[in-house]
A and B are shown apart, each in its own frame.
Chain A
Amino acid sequence: MIQLEKIEKTYTAGTVQTPVLKGISFSIHAGEYVAIMGASGTGKSTLMHILGCLDKPTGGRYRLDDIDMVNLDDEALSHLRNGKIGFVFQQFHLLDRATALRNVMLPLIYAKEYPADAHQRAEKALTAVGLAERMSYKPNQLSGGQQQRVAIARALITDPAILLADEPTGNLDSKSGTEVMAIFQRLHRDGRTIILVTHDRNVADHARRVIVLKDGQVAEDRLVAQPRDAESELAAVVDEEVRP
């Protein structure tokens, strides 16, 4: 589904050149749940922007569903993002003045075909992340965890091939973070392809495969023998809270 071949990215600021990605190669198949891990500043976000067709590499090849995205123009990339990719960001990036429902419906505005059941779809997506009671709330009336779940519902409304999440738990307390992990694991069980970017090993261990970046290269690419189970972690937290 995803093939990266010697992907390079060098930022140029004036005469200063900063090579960030120095030849990254890996493949991801449909249905995989992959965590991309690495210390802060190693180029995880840069890589995710390339995977999400928000930015182009300065070298190498990137094929998504057998489409060579390096050759696509801006408009084609926009349509590709809308149809194939769902984003979840560390800072949620919700529209402040719009309700949760409107936020979730936002990607449909830019869809090739606006579905007649857009409203019902958004309601269903919000219900699936446990926000059936909060649909008409604005972001400032929601907790961080709830805001991130709105963002997840938004990412899924177009039924994308891949869910890309950049430090989705970075701005959340540990319980909310675990809730998000539980949602991701559920989505993975339902067959969704997920790429999760994080610097946190505890978060990465929820995935089935971990790719570690170091100095702009893949330092490690391994399967997780025993992925952590967010559901049971949550149950434990609840137990702790309930215990006198």
Chain B
Amino acid sequence: MRTLRIAQEGARALAAHKLRTFFMMAGTIVGIAALTVIMAVGKGTEKKVMKRVNAFGTHAIMITAGGGKGFSPPQAGITTLRLEDAEAIRSQVQGIDVVAPFAVRRDSSTKAGSNQLQTIVMAVGADWHDAWEWYTTDGEPITAEDNSTMARVCLLGTLSASDLFGSQNAIGEDIQIGNVRFKVKGILEPRGTSPMGDEFDRRIVIPLTTGMRRVFNQDYITNIRVTVKDSRQIESIAKEIRQLLHERHHITPPRDDDFAIFSAADIAKMARGISGTLTYLLIALAGLSLLVGGIVLMNILLISVGERTKEIGLRRALGATQGDVFHQFLVESLSVTILGMVAGSVLGWVVSITLARLTQSPVVISWESFALAIGFALVVGVFFGVQPARRAAKLRPVDALR
């Protein structure tokens, strides 16, 4: 109860000096607002990253024919990536789940009746479905038998189906890819947009053997998709595969790779982009303003101890103990940082939401950031409040009253 009465005295002192209280609060407001924005933007970015990574496959590694930086489509004319490479990866690399070689041809001309579609055709093995965890909603998937018999069957994405057949049921219908006629045996699950920005759902999928021999007329493949059992090993496995392909393709360092490897980890790095560095910068800013704010707070409190020596002496004469004076000053500094924290959080939320509207990028407001703000407010309040409070408590009543 006594503590409560003394806390009230502190609150009254703050209320009586509104401008001073505001200046003491300013640093905390800015710091906490910055912290809130960082957390909101950071979490938003992480959500975007996770979406990209999930679309790519959290356990996936993609090997693409042709070198080059960035996650790009296979380079035309590179004939060195072969089925034997996929076989070697399957038999020599540990920790692998599925190895799915496939061949892609962009801008393939396809048509059904009078409807034409220029799109991506993928020639795939039976375990491609498992490697992508991408199956059919209607009809049947591509099977091992389709590959061994070089069957002329295909799967359509939902968009390619509607482009070629409108609202009509496509299964069992014929389409033409180049000069070859295929029968539609299934419709793929909708999957949205690829990490590279094209529509997964506007693809056409055929058996790998049929594609290589009858459509593309090539003895090489363009991609191998590998999934790993444990996503934590993804980077070391990607490295191992790179070494294996170096050996198999007789590549020694000065020569450029004739393939590119991308893992889910690389996709995450790409998606984070500069926001990572930006986040560190903003964290530094928030930390700095909390620190500066805390120092300002401490100095104003120290000055106010000086200005209020008479008041302190009077309180001591009237029966306040050193502990009472200490508590009052600590309550004052804590109230300032807690009020500043609330104001800073609200400001941070407003800025985050505005930022989300303006930049069209996701921003996530979380309770964690509020909890962190409370933590910071308490730490700053206590850390920078203790010294002034101690100085106030140490004043000798006779000296303070003189």
Contact = CB atoms under 8 A, between A and B. Distances in A.
Interface of A: 49, 52, 54-55, 74-75, 78-79, 81-83, 87, 89, 93, 95, 97-98, 106-107, 109-111, 114, 154, 158
Contacts, number: 68
- Size bracket of the B interface: 20 to 34
A93 B314 CA distance: 7
Contacts of B397: 54-55
Interface of B: 1-2, 5-6, 9, 12, 16-17, 310-311, 313-324, 396-398, 401
Q: Give the most central of B12, B318, B320, B398: most A CB within 10 Å.
A: B318
Contacts of B16: 97-98
A89 B401 contact: yes
B1 A54 contact: no
Q: Give the most central of A55, A83, A93: most B CB within 10 Å.
A: A93
Contacts of B2: 109-110, 114
Contact of A95 (B1, B311, B319, B323): B311
Given A55-B396, A158-B319, 13 more contacts: A54-B316, A55-B397, A79-B319, A79-B321, A81-B318, A81-B319, A82-B318, A97-B16, A98-B16, A109-B2, A109-B6, A110-B321, A114-B1
B318 A110 contact: yes
Given A97-B16, A106-B315, A109-B6, A74 B321 contact: yes
Contacts of A110: 2, 315, 318-321, 324
B314 A95 contact: yes
12 contacts: A49-B398, A74-B322, A78-B320, A78-B322, A78-B324, A81-B319, A97-B16, A98-B16, A107-B319, A110-B318, A114-B2, A114-B5
Contacts of A54: 316-317, 397-398, 401
Nearest to B313: A93
Closest 9 CB pairs of A and B: A82-B319, A110-B319, A97-B16, A78-B321, A107-B318, A55-B398, A93-B314, A109-B5, A54-B397
A97 to B, nearest CB: 4
A46 to B, nearest CB: 9
B398 A81 contact: no
Nearest to B15: A97
Contacts of A55: 396-398
A153 B9 CA distance: 20
B321 to A, nearest CB: 4
A79 B317 CA distance: 10
Contact of B318 (A74, A75, A87, A97): A87
A52 B317 CA distance: 8
Contacts of B315: 106, 110
Contacts of A158: 319
Contact of A109 (B9, B17, B313): B9
A39 B396 CA distance: 26
Contacts of B311: 95
B307 to A, nearest CB: 11
